[in-house]
A and B are shown apart, each in its own frame.
Chain A
């Protein structure tokens, strides 16, 4: 069962918070909705759950129009950031809630609760109250509760945001395992964290300003972003303004060799170079500038180098003898590590 948004628009008091979203999540696929806060990603998820009503457009679950269906008849599992475990029910009662609400037979409820708790590693805590659990444990119970009703669509709204960094990476691994164990379940995963999206998603939908900006596999979006916003939001990028020439571009008086297909000669464009493909020293596509800032990050050094008034970031494997603040350095990158973005791509 998949999810399909058919030009879904949501407005509150005249403010458009989701602008004609068209998006399809295939059965069994993990789709991450990635974007900053206020980008409309949570609204999109809530439209699927049935908690916001589109002003126009339709929402389909398994090719069935559910736009006018109340939430309790949509049969979707949902996990939210603040867990929303029922504080007056024990862990197993929380997990059994959806089954009891559907009047499932007693024996079946017991089996499914045990199964869901087993799957999330919470079987030992069945008789605890939510307040007696840690944040990570509560989130596992919330996931177990959503899985117990065996939904074909699982909605996850920033499920890891309330956890600290160490727990977050552990839970990320768990979610990836759950996805492998439940290959038929489509997941819509809302997050503002690109690491979560890159790790977990089969495809990523990048959202900004109530609009879908780009959609593709993590590799596509990372290797060849279609626009500046996607480039900087997914993975971070150096974005410098260039003028397109024949067989290359010119930046700050330097000719750089990059692929220029599809962009007219003489046009203004933006060159996108990931910080980790930038090397220090002589090489092809060389830029010379002054070190303005140098940060040691354990395994890497990050250099901020000012080239003709533009800051270029470089992530370098830990340097034995790093340059000092104010030094003149040369940076270089391989021609096929850069992507040329036509001016204004993705914004009109």
Chain B
């Protein structure tokens, strides 16, 4: 049986109905990519370039040295990072608990709550600070203690605003969870905390990780909430970019802070994409 061994050339099936040649397909991508490059990537590159151009002229690392040396920057960096981490932690705990109740302890109105979350997500973040100003502000309902002008006020506002961002992927993950699993577990005598720990939590981990890292990035970049507290004591990196550029007209300095902020956020966002892809989102 001297049958010739065929080694077929590997040719991909056309993914869609349009068997256009590869070059033509690439050509169609060009216009939007060109727009993105012109209006987003090029400006971003200019920011990086500007960060190496001190006002005194020439190209040097001087702006970086100046910014890193300043107490204000180091303080802002620290505030930004711990606020973001703490907010994310708060959102994860609160979001998990609330989503758990909505998904697994059904009572009338749960659907309305889910719809409310969607609406809530379409409002800007500074509305929360605005409301907190009435509740905790200097002339507020609860009274005039300087709560809002401390980082704790920002923390509360961020937890309030970003918790739904954790709840949404969680609710989606919970709706995929087979309720038969829960019924099987409880028929085997497991009590609620045990079911949560051993059945629900493992299923929710990918969604928690994805939601958590998204919130972390959003918190690192949050501006409106901090701006509205009007607190001089709470300065985050985005706030520093704004005040250096607009209030002090120190563009090289603003660009340096911007570059640092972008590096942290994009790095974390890359992590988020990897995690959420793992989670099969």
Contacts and interface: CB of A to CB of B under 8 A. Distances in A.
A53 B14 contact: yes
A218 interface: no
**Chain A, interface size: which category?**
20 to 34
B10 A9 contact: no
B107 interface: no
Interface in A1-41: 9-14, 16, 19-20
Given A9-B6, A19-B6, A20-B6, A53 B11 contact: yes
A53 B9 contact: no
A50 interface: yes
Contact of A70 (B6, B8, B9, B18): B18
Interface of A: 9-14, 16, 19-20, 50-56, 70-72, 348
A164 B6 CA distance: 41
B9 A55 contact: yes
A51 B17 contact: yes
B3 to A, nearest CB: 8
B13 A55 contact: no
A13 B13 contact: no
A82 to B, nearest CB: 16
B17 A55 contact: no
Contacts, number: 42
Nearest to A18: B8
Given A51-B14, A348-B1, A56 B19 contact: no
A13 B19 CA distance: 18
Given A50-B19, A70-B19, A55 B10 contact: yes
A19 to B, nearest CB: 7
A182 B11 CA distance: 36
Contacts of A72: 17
Contacts of B14: 51-53
B107 to A, nearest CB: 33
Given A12-B13, A348-B1, A55 B19 contact: no
**Chain B, interface size: which category?**
10 to 19
Contacts of B13: 10, 12, 51-53
5 pairs of A and B residues whose beta carbons are closest in the complex: A55-B8, A11-B8, A52-B13, A70-B19, A9-B8
Interface of B: 1, 6, 8-14, 17-19
Contacts of A54: 11
A53 B19 contact: yes
Contacts of A19: 6
A11 B18 CA distance: 19
Nearest to A53: B11
Contacts of A56: 6, 8-9
- B6, B8, B11: residue with the most chain A Cβ atoms closer than 10 Å: B8
Contacts of A71: 17, 19
Contacts of A12: 10, 12-13
Contacts of A9: 6, 8
Nearest to A46: B13
Contact of B10 (A14, A51, A348): A14
28 contacts: A9-B6, A10-B8, A10-B13, A11-B8, A11-B9, A11-B11, A12-B10, A16-B6, A16-B8, A19-B6, A20-B6, A50-B19, A51-B13, A51-B17, A52-B13, A53-B11, A53-B12, A53-B13, A53-B14, A53-B19, A55-B8, A55-B10, A55-B11, A56-B6, A56-B8, A70-B18, A71-B19, A348-B1
A177 B10 CA distance: 42
B124 to A, nearest CB: 35
Contacts of A11: 8-11
A52 B13 CA distance: 5
Nearest to B16: A51
A51 B16 CA distance: 8
